Homo-oligomer: A and B are copies of this chain.
């Protein structure tokens, strides 16, 4: 433990994934948990499949792109 599931928009770059994994793991090693115990699972979701305020993000946040 912990297991961390991260839902992001599709298109998250490999560099962003790497930083996400590294950064989240460090949050827990800073709490005294050994890094081998930390699993991070990144789940990419197309903006058409992500709703905010009742609309798909592909419409509501058309210009915003994942890092």
List A residues at the B interface (Cβ < 8 Å). Answer: 1-9, 14, 16-33, 35-36, 38-45, 48-57, 66-67
Contacts and interface: CB of A to CB of B under 8 A. Distances in A.
B14 A7 contact: no
A48 to B, nearest CB: 6
A35 B54 CA distance: 7
B7 A6 contact: no
A1 to B, nearest CB: 5
A4 B14 CA distance: 18
Contacts of A51: 20-22, 24-25, 38-42
A43 B42 contact: no
Contacts of A3: 3, 6-7, 39, 41
